[in-house]
């Protein structure tokens, strides 16, 4: 016999009593409870320009000039950017946006199934289909797709996103993954975007050099010429990342229990060094054996590094210059390769810099756990206890918007941002 604990027994008794009252018509709390659960409540004070309750929690949000594209686990939909009104919706397991602002498309597909569909962003009308591609990467000026005749015989093809016109094609010896979806991870470093601030903007232009990890090697692809360069084998003591058109090597030598690190940026064709830094490390080392299990963290062409004296810096991946040097104990918490947000050693303030200049543009008080995002026209700070979101001018630090909100920042561009809290999303134009 199953014995209920006293607390469990009381809960069962209450549930039975409420059910009896509801079925006999004496008192039915369920409509009020459902109304409480399903009623939208403002996720920001002051209120946003619009707020909508979606059918589920969004997986990703992309903001375009006139539209907002929302990816769910089983569908994709487009909303009007000004009003939040749904324009169309279709079933899909994954979705991404490709193409320039005036000719962007939504590319979607089904997991573990080859191929994809391309739809107009404004109408959802199907414009073309593919049934061979195993994965795609989306950019403003191209849609990359990989298709394989055999596991070790693949083609990487660049196409005009909306028309499908072929721009170039190059061979790859496999793809190194089995994920049939959009934008599988490349050897391009990790984003500095923090948790709770997954800022996803319009598609960016395709980098001049891409790094494909395949069977422990890196294959660099020149996207201007459509050429795959010979395989790069990092070996046990090196980590290789493609950044700013260079192949960046982080090489570790263990001596007397100390990890000695050397950084170098090399030409992808000749292998010649374009720059070299002794003693600098990209925060890739973890464990006592000098293993480099972590990815470098970058924004734009700037990559976070640590100098021999322990100070954090941002290095230009193209030429190795220090474009920002932090004081002792300071941390870079956000950058887009143009501006950077730095937290002070005591955590009491944040400062914003233009990369390449030594003096901060401005400094303000901030919560020690505040997170930051950088767009072309705004610095976004988010903090809790109390919940606040600040939108600040990058050059002056002048307040453009101040919100009481615990929502996550889902997407942002030069004009505004999308906030989200579970199924609720809303749009705020920058003040």
Phi, psi of 320 (to 5 degrees): 80, 5
pLDDT at 191: 86
- Residues 25-51 have pLDDT tens digits of 556 655 554 444 455 789 999 999 999
Which segments of the chain have a pLDDT < 70? 1-39, 176-180, 193-201, 287-288
pLDDT at 423: 95
Characterize 266-292 residue by residue with b for buried, 16 or more Cβ atoms within 10 angstroms of its Cβ, and e for exposed. bebeeeeebbebeebbbbbbeeeebeb
pLDDT at 36: 41
| Closest listed residue to residue 191, CA positions, set 271, 276, 286, 302 | 302
pLDDT at 35: 43
Q: For residues 279 and 297, what is the distance between their CA atoms, to the nearest angstrom? A: 18
Q: For residues 200 and 70, what is the distance between their CA atoms, to the nearest angstrom? A: 11
Phi-psi region of 115 (alpha: psi -120 to 50; beta: other; left: phi over 0): left
- Residues 183-224 have pLDDT tens digits of 898 999 998 765 546 555 678 999 999 999 998 899 999 999
Where along the chain do its domains lie?
1-39
pLDDT at 37: 46
Strand-pair category, 331-335 with 322-325: unpaired
Q: For residues 77 and 93, what is the distance between their CA atoms, to the nearest angstrom? A: 12
Distances (CA, A) of 178 to 43, 134, 188, 243, 381: 39, 8, 19, 24, 37
Distances (CA, A) of 316 to 168, 265, 294, 298, 414: 29, 10, 19, 10, 24
pLDDT at 415: 92
pLDDT at 66: 95
pLDDT at 290: 82
pLDDT at 199: 58
User: How many CA atoms, within 13 angstroms, populate the side-chain half-sphere of residue 115?
Assistant: 7
pLDDT at 170: 98
9, 390 Cβ separation under 8 angstroms: no
| Closest listed residue to residue 64, CA positions, set 93, 100, 10, 30 | 100
The full length of the chain comes to 431
pLDDT at 39: 59
pLDDT at 3: 42
């Amino acid at each position: 016999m199953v014995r209920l604990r006293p607390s469990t027994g009381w809960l069962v008794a209450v549930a039975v009593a409420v059910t009896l009252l509801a079925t006999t018509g004496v008192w039915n709390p369920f409509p009020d409870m459902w109304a409480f659960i399903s009623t939208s409540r403002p996720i920001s004070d002051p209120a946003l320009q619009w707020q909508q309750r979606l059918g589920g929690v969004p997986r990703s949000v992309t903001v375009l000039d006139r539209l907002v594209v929302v990816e769910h686990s089983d569908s994709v939909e487009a909303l009007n950017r000004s009003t939040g009104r749904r324009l169309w919706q279709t079933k899909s397991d994954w979705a991404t946006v490709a193409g320039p602002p005036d000719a962007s498309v939504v590319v979607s597909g089904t997991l573990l199934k080859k191929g994809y569909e391309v739809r107009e962003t404004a109408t959802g009308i199907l414009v073309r289909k593919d049934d061979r591609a195993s994965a795609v990467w989306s950019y403003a000026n191209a849609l990359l797709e990989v298709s394989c005749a055999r596991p070790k015989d693949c083609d990487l093809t660049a196409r005009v996103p909306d028309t499908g016109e072929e721009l170039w094609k190059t061979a790859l010896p496999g793809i190194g993954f089995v994920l049939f979806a959009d934008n599988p991870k490349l050897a391009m470093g990790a984003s500095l975007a923090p948790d709770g601030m997954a800022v996803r903007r319009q598609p960016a232009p395709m980098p001049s050099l891409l790094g494909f990890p395949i069977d422990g090697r890196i294959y660099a692809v020149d996207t201007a010429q459509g050429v795959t360069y010979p395989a790069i084998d990092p070996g046990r003591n090196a980590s290789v990342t493609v950044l700013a058109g260079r192949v960046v090597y982080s090489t570790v030598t263990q001596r007397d229990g100390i990890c000695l690190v050397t950084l170098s940026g090399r030409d992808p064709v000749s292998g010649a060094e374009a720059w070299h830094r002794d003693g600098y490390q990209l925060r890739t080392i973890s464990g006592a054996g000098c293993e480099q299990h972590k990815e470098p963290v970058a924004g734009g062409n700037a990559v976070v590094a640590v100098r021999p004296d322990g100070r954090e810096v941002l290095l230009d991946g193209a030429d190795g210059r220090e474009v920002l040097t932090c004081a002792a104990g300071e941390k870079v918490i956000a950058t887009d390769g143009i501006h950077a947000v730095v937290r002070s050693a005591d955590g009491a303030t944040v400062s914003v810099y233009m990369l390449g200049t030594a003096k901060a543009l401005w400094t303000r008080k901030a919560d020690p756990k505040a997170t930051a995002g950088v767009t072309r026209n705004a610095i976004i700070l988010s903090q809790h206890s109390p919940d606040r979101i600040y939108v600040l001018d990058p050059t002056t630090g002048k307040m453009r918007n101040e919100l009481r909100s615990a929502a996550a920042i889902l997407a942002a561009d030069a004009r505004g941002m999308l906030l989200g809290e579970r199924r609720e999303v809303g749009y705020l134009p920058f003040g």
